[in-house]
Chain A
Amino acid sequence: MNRNLYSHLARQNLKKNSRVYLPYILASIGTIMMFYILCTLAFDEDLRSDMYGGGQMAVILSLGIIVVGIFAVIFLLYTNSFLLKRRKKEIGLYNILGLGKRHIAKMMSFEALYVALLSLIAGLALGMLLSKLMFALLLRMLDFAVPFGFSVSLRGLFLTLALFGGIYLLALISSLVQIGRAKPVELMRGSQQGEREPKTKWLLALIGLLALGWGYYIAQTVESPLAVIGMFFVAVILVIIGTYCLFTAGSIVVLKALRRNKRFYYRTRNFTSVSGMLYRMKQNAVGLANICILSTMVLVMISTTVSLYIGIDDSLEITHPNEIVLKSYAEWQADVDRMNDIVTEAVSRSGASVVSRTSYRYFSVTLTGSELPVNQTKGKDLKYGLTFVSLADYNAIEGMELTLGEGEAIVCGKAYSGDSLYIEGTDFRARVIDVRRPLLLTVPNADIDVGYCVVVSDLDEVFEEVNQGAYADGRTTSAITSYAGIDIEQTGGMEQALYSELYNGVIEANLDTYISLRSEERAYIVSLYGGLLFLGIFLGTLFSMATAMIIYYKQISEGFEDKQRFEIMQKVGMGLSEVRKTIRRQILMVFFLPLVAAVIHIAFAFKMITKMLTLLLISNIQLFALCTLLTVLAFAAVYTVVFGLTARSYYKIVRA
């Protein structure tokens, strides 16, 4: 037999099986394209070296490469195994008609070669075209000017070729091994074997229910943002366990219960769906649970990264209320005066025109809820940070004219419930006022759950007392810190000039001072969160594509199996419109069960995620809620489109 025969056969086979091969090739192209784009971005030298924070950007993108790489291996091998299962009968027929195993291997090698060439060429071509676009998008997210020019990343090209070439080779080898082992008769029988009805596993269902309930309970009851991080992973693992158990065992329990309900079950609309689902669940439950978890991950990833990115300026407002921030561990007023002198001098030397200047001194103490008059049921285990400032400083910052009586302190923060403040042997009458804006360090952060600002008349005296009390208790307090903030008129490069003047001044005076620029900090955060957002959207798209593909294939393969069932039902008296309705119902359930479960997971995780976001100084819950909602809607929209396409293909197969 000549060589042309095999390549001809291979081409023919691909054409004939286009219904299953086309999505596979499209998915391959998509995956290859995304992988190449990520490589291009991660390996880009300009991005790495020219940009502030470009290094960490590259690290984030490299992580992305690894994730996409692993994903590509699993996804393409899974899809390939599906394809093989579909074609076993056809291959068995070739075998019986006299094509030896060796010849089949040759034919399939040609097929694999065609698929690989087609996907790689198209994928890389699209990748090269779109990488420029993605590059521009990424740079825009990072607030960076977009350079012109078109370049091809050789390293990315080689890495892509190597990885995907390897995957295709692996897929081919696994197919050949499977076919080599099977007898023609087995091949002919293919995937059609009588499946037994799944057993009811009460225990597993119960475990699933408990795990899920527990996970949800944790998510709802954790109050402290500090405790959230640890508990989040516990909750996630519990929910994952719960999801798998409930999808595998719980679904069977529910369906069997439905079947036992005669009045529900023996209805035209429920009869075929319930029994069909029951029959299917055995092989599909794990897949559906996978899809559910994957969808949840996509939704959480995208909504949080979007929130982080949008909230950048909010969080900067908290950490950097002023454009230039100086913090000095200067205990005495004299040091503060020196720092102020340095600032004045630096400003005049740099020629910047100052819009506003603030300076104050503070110290903070951390207490647990049991030591404070706060809500003892909910707030007992939280950590509270008290930041003390003097009345003079507070009035100056906030532009108020508050006064204090003897032994009185003002506590800023509504949640404080009490009329006294007793701390380390110091006793105050407390007057609680509402805060207009959170003063530095009184917002929840990585160290405290709740922050109050305490205004006293003599800061040094209180510091002394509190410190002594703390020594007696064997605890430590922070030193007094001086804060100085400067806002200047935004004229090009002025910030940087002032920054270096300040830096030199501080060095000369030998003050223990930390200076930071808001713009610099901003660039840093933007590159971090922008990178995360980019990756979030990127991976989100990829995972959504994979989810859709997995469902599509699942349904198509079921369509082939269901064809006969529907034929029988038509003979027994099921009308075409009923067939169509039943199919829609069945696919609807398979499609939207995981999505609905994912949305419920997210609803329960919401509180926990907002708590975690507060650690990153994002406290705008509405923003996060909106982001989550929009993400869910977008995802559901994509899902619905795929659902429509799948239902149509499925119907065509069943009707053929």
Chain B
Amino acid sequence: MTILEVKNLKKIYTTRFGGNKVQALSNVSFSVEEGEYVAIMGESGSGKTTLLNILASLDRPTSGEILLRGRSILGIKEGELAAFRRDNLGFVFQDFNLLDTFSVQDNIFLPLVLAGRPHKEMQERLKPLAEKLDISDILKKFPYEISGGQKQRTAVARALITRPELVLADEPTGALDSKATDQLLKIFSEINREGQTVLMVTHSLKAASHAGRVLFIKDGEVYHQIYRGSVSNEALYQKISDTLTALATGGIKSE
């Protein structure tokens, strides 16, 4: 079943006085099936972040349509957007975006508190999640007391605790060392195996090689895509690498 459908997205940034126009997305269309793990790759300036921001409903496209489970998210009113994000989307950011004022546990609870859920339910949801993410021991600590990997796992827990339709990850491994990166990617694969749909934007080959499908964006368009099929991470890594090389040298035509 299709969970996310993106049709002909276009985004043009206009400077305040209408002088310069920059086209960030020219025409992006793709769809994500339920339970898929999709990585979007592209160089800096290719429009990845713009795309993610629009998917996250943090920004509005100039034209186009986004359907989440068949429902258009562009029609949602400004006042309801926050609640929509809270209930349907989970975010993992490059710089973690944890709040210093909250303990690890409270950071994870934040979206549930904002949704007005009872405390008992929060506890029940947290327990298995914390064990899976191996953060049970640090729940009482504060973000400045834990490592980068632990911070990102906390952020993952915060994204998952609302049981979102879709997890959006923006360069989740960007600020992590290689060990923490491996651990995080393993977690992503694991939650995906359990049925969580994940959409990740990255320019890390390694991160993308864990995905089930890789989309390549160039100059504001989906230029190419690779399905994993049944190959291993290593084989996918090689395929991605070849594609990127071809992309950079202009060898592949858009499909």
Residues of A within 8 A of B (CB): 194-197, 262-263, 266-268, 271, 275-276, 278-279, 565, 568-578
Contact = CB atoms under 8 A, between A and B. Distances in A.
B156 to A, nearest CB: 13
Contacts of A268: 113-114, 116
A266 B83 contact: no
B115 interface: yes
Interface of B: 56, 58, 78-79, 81-83, 85-87, 91, 93, 97-102, 106, 109-116, 119, 122, 142-144, 158, 162
A572 B83 contact: no
A453 B45 CA distance: 97
Contact of B114 (A195, A565, A573, A577): A573
Contact of B113 (A271, A568, A570): A271
A275 B101 contact: yes
A562 to B, nearest CB: 10
A276 B100 CA distance: 9
Contact of B111 (A262, A572, A576): A572
Contact of A266 (B99, B101, B122): B122
A569 B102 CA distance: 12
Contacts of B144: 194, 196
A266 B86 contact: no
A202 B185 CA distance: 45
B106 A571 contact: no
Contact of A565 (B79, B82, B85, B101): B101
Nearest to B91: A571
A275 B102 contact: yes
B101 A276 contact: yes
A573 B122 contact: no
A267 to B, nearest CB: 7
A569 B79 contact: no
Nearest to A274: B101
A582 to B, nearest CB: 10
A568 B151 CA distance: 14
Nearest to A271: B113
Given A268-B113, A278-B101, 19 more contacts: A194-B100, A196-B142, A196-B144, A266-B112, A266-B113, A268-B114, A271-B113, A276-B101, A565-B100, A568-B98, A571-B97, A573-B82, A573-B83, A573-B85, A573-B87, A573-B114, A573-B115, A574-B114, A575-B83
A573 B91 CA distance: 10
Contacts of B102: 275
B221 to A, nearest CB: 27
Contacts of A575: 79, 81-83
B113 A571 contact: no
B91 A275 contact: no
Contacts of A267: 113, 116
10 contacts: A194-B144, A263-B119, A271-B106, A275-B102, A568-B97, A569-B99, A571-B56, A572-B97, A573-B82, A574-B82
Which residue, A266, A279, A578, has most C-beta atoms of chain B within 10 A? A266
A195 B100 CA distance: 8
Helix, strand, loop or mixed for chain B's interface?
helix
B80 to A, nearest CB: 8
Contact of B82 (A195, A271, A570): A570
Nearest to B115: A573
B199 to A, nearest CB: 15
Contacts of B93: 571
Given A194-B100, A276-B101, A571-B91, A576 B79 contact: yes
A279 B114 CA distance: 20
Contacts, number: 76
Which residue, A196, A197, A565, A575, has most C-beta atoms of chain B within 10 A? A575
A576 B82 contact: yes
Contacts of B143: 194
A4 to B, nearest CB: 29
A569 B110 contact: yes
A275 B113 CA distance: 13
Contacts of A278: 101
A568 B79 CA distance: 17
A573 B111 contact: yes
A-B interface, 6 closest residue pairs, ranked by CB to CB distance from nearest:
A573-B86, A575-B82, A194-B144, A279-B101, A275-B101, A266-B119
Contacts of A577: 79
Which residue, B82, B97, B111, B115, has most C-beta atoms of chain A within 10 A? B82
A275 B83 CA distance: 22
B58 to A, nearest CB: 7
A572 B91 contact: yes
B132 to A, nearest CB: 20
Given A197-B142, A573-B86, A578-B114, A266 B97 contact: no
Given A275-B101, A275-B102, A278-B101, A571 B85 contact: yes
Nearest to A276: B101
A266 B111 CA distance: 11
A571 B52 CA distance: 12
B114 A266 contact: no
B113 A565 contact: no
Contact of B110 (A196, A262, A271, A576): A271
Nearest to A565: B99
A457 to B, nearest CB: 81
Contacts of A576: 78-79, 82
Nearest to B100: A194
Contacts of A262: 119
A655 to B, nearest CB: 13
A263 B81 CA distance: 27
A196 B79 CA distance: 35
A611 to B, nearest CB: 46
Contacts of B81: 575
Nearest to B116: A268
A571 B58 CA distance: 8
Nearest to B88: A573
Contacts of A573: 82-83, 85-87, 111, 114-115, 162
Contacts of A568: 97-99
A455 B91 CA distance: 91
B9 to A, nearest CB: 20
A61 to B, nearest CB: 48
A271 B114 CA distance: 9
A239 B28 CA distance: 67
B113 to A, nearest CB: 5
A170 to B, nearest CB: 34
A457 B171 CA distance: 105
Contacts of B110: 271, 569, 572
Contacts of B97: 568, 571-572
Nearest to B142: A197
A276 B102 CA distance: 8
A572 B110 CA distance: 8
A195 B101 CA distance: 9
A268 B110 CA distance: 9
Nearest to B81: A575
Contacts of A196: 142, 144
B193 to A, nearest CB: 25
Contacts of A275: 99, 101-102, 106
A268 B119 CA distance: 11
Nearest to B86: A573
Given A263-B119, A266-B119, A578 B142 contact: no
A275 B114 CA distance: 14
B82 A578 contact: yes
Nearest to B144: A194
A257 to B, nearest CB: 16
A589 to B, nearest CB: 15
Contacts of A572: 85-86, 91, 97, 110-111, 114, 158
Contacts of A194: 100, 143-144
A196 B100 CA distance: 9
Which residue, A262, A276, A573, has most C-beta atoms of chain B within 10 A? A573
A545 B82 CA distance: 39
Nearest to B82: A575
Contacts of B116: 267-268
A262 to B, nearest CB: 5
